[in-house]
Structure 1
């Protein structure tokens, strides 16, 4: 046989692979090349694109996972790839040679040991012949190999990989039990023959090819049945993609309609709330105007001369009578300052306006005892101290936030975080809607979110001794504290 017979067989397989699309495994049809230099049929790339994220302007190579940026023209503008590149690869491939498997010098093999199944270079062949234990092995020159022996595998054309566990050993066996490649040393340690089944690389490879071929046949049979039963599967896939886009559009349109309805309802409720607030504010304004008119009349009556009073009599009486009539028609109550909103529990519904305060008993605090303390913000939200917790509730009793007493209330003098509360014995709200807590032996001032703003000790800063019992604050932020039956007034810190 000619000297190049072995490599020619390998070149034939290599050339065949270079002429086939890695996706459809048929000869290239209108090939296009990605940035990673891998080529595919244009149709295969178009079908691949349908399965990838369309929002991403890139296409992912199925072989190396690298991305190629696409222009507005899409896949059609990719350069033609495979044939020119493959011709170059094929030309370069003419230099493919069988390498020695007995050394690491990458020398070209000139013979093969039929017993070791190794290709040998000239130097390794000499060393092989010098070993007494190997003299009985049959060595055949590559040019004299029979045709059936020339069907070599990829592994035989390359340097045999080394074992990871034993880097000085070649991978020469296959463990069927563990389904891994092993070396001779492995059979003495982790893959002992008494517990594991070993076969040669060739035998494992032949069995692998047989199993893969059987699976390929079954897969091809299933695909053929599917294609026969669904001749228009490609069109169905395209239709599914279009239907998905249409479904997305319908969902979006419906969502936008519902959002528009909710926004319209939001606008309506805000307008209603504004109109109610304006109407009520006018009533409160009338009351303030009455007080101003009354103050001016009293000022005239006390400071003006009799002549001036008589001259102003008609106007003063008219103004006073008008205010009497106004007050008879006004329904001015503190409750009119309340305006709230109740959320709807139904999906897609906002809720309704609350025009009156309705207080209902909350069963959680039904058994009120002496340890419960309550204070209210100007927004009608409440703070309740009960059972070692501070709770902030909305006007309808719904929990907004809570803070738990952390340190031991029986050990008030031990060091602790000042933001913590040991035992709240009294609560009050100042004009700035800040929460004052009597947490013996200190008075602490918090925000609505229970963030500490300030604190002071009564004994040191207020010049008093004893146990504080009650706490109150007026509209000027003047603090009143009851200490052992005595009342003390403190200015705001």
Structure 2
């Protein structure tokens, strides 16, 4: 046990020495450690060697860790502040190691020289000059030849207890002017500690703000804690900004790839003589993408450097706050507070999200013209519109739900007329069938149409024939109907609580309980998402298989994962979200209603995956609800009496 304890003590001392007590320059234990303005500590001799290699007459020494300069005092490097805590710790560790060595030497017992049993020595024969165990001593005094030898007992040195390290010793500096006086006060005006005599003589005027050491330290610690709390907010902002930069870069890559693919497709449609122009355009797109990516990388790098430096200062200050004593803290206060000034100017460069878009606009090609035009900004324009108010085929009374099939056909759910109409991608009417699905429609990756009909879901095949249906699980009841009621019409429900992801898992929202559940296509329950308690007007799954909800009454977007954790919440002020969808990069597009009940003020807004507003896609819409992307990338919006299709220009 003693050997195990001794080995453990050695290991701990080694870890402490290597982790905290070695100078970053010489990699040896500190000798006369000095603190620079950046709060890094080095041996005095190491700093002297560095200063001798610098250009003369600079009057400053550069920290080898962070490259920050520290003015050399008039008294030279010895005039730098001492790190009393590290000096005391080094002395204590050295003393502990010496004690362990002494203990090891004291506990190592010699063995008997007269036998090979390895027994402990109890006596020594002076004449034979041999160490003897108990058995050999008895035989030694019986033999006729050796019984007259002088045999003396061997005394084993007592094991000395290793004193425990006391790292809480308080350093109490004496006044430089009055060597028998301890420091009792701190002058905030002069930024120095003072004894009682100095306080009476040199700091008695009104401009000197004197306080007791304990009060000064308490105020000092509170001030540092306030700054560090603010820094935590900056760290959160940094993480959010990092996520925005990563998304913008990923989106840029997708857009560059998409633009190059469009150019390639156009090239294949035309004659061979334009291939060279196609290559030139693709190179331009790639070059622009690389340049912008370099700019994003620069934002990332600059922000990361700021944060690394800030975290470095935070770590140094936190260590000082935890390890240094009060007097040393006050000695270092000007330097610490100077370093903490970084928080005032700590601002992260915002990513320019618009730079993440690049597209391609085709044009008619003749011999001396380019293949097309590179789009540097993301802009949307109304491409086409079909439908009008009415009760005939192709007309709408309240177009709310919308979905697109893989061939581009558009399904529109009219919840007032209780029927679903199907149109081609260009808006030509194809078919219609009765469907009372007030809670929304969605289409799977295999073109199955799912309709949420209050307490059950209907499943239709590609021919729009009903092939199955399943009831919603009994996840609880609530006498209060929380569904959204149209403010201009009686008892009309516009909640669209159904969506399906690429793995054909179906998410549903129970309008009465606000419970969200996941199902297989056959209706079997996969899981109930806990703690949602929400009734959105529309939902969609994003790239991370989280559910995005358009919370109409709360005027916000909410993103919930399968565990019920809210990841993204975007507040929209007085605008009310009515429909939501995502593109293949994860960006969010939302239809919103303006203030009050005024029609004609609806908009389509664009957000990044973190819920940060990017821009407005369309304005002055009638009363938009459902929104989705077509297979070819157009935005398709159900605008109450019509369907509008927008494309990038």
Q: Give the number of the structure with larger relative contact order, counting CA–CA contacts within 8 Å between residues 6 or more apart.
A: 2
TM-score, normalized by the shorter chain, greater than 0.5: no
More helix by share: 1
User: Whose strand fraction is larger, Structure 1's or Structure 2's?
Assistant: 2
Structure with higher Rg: it is 1
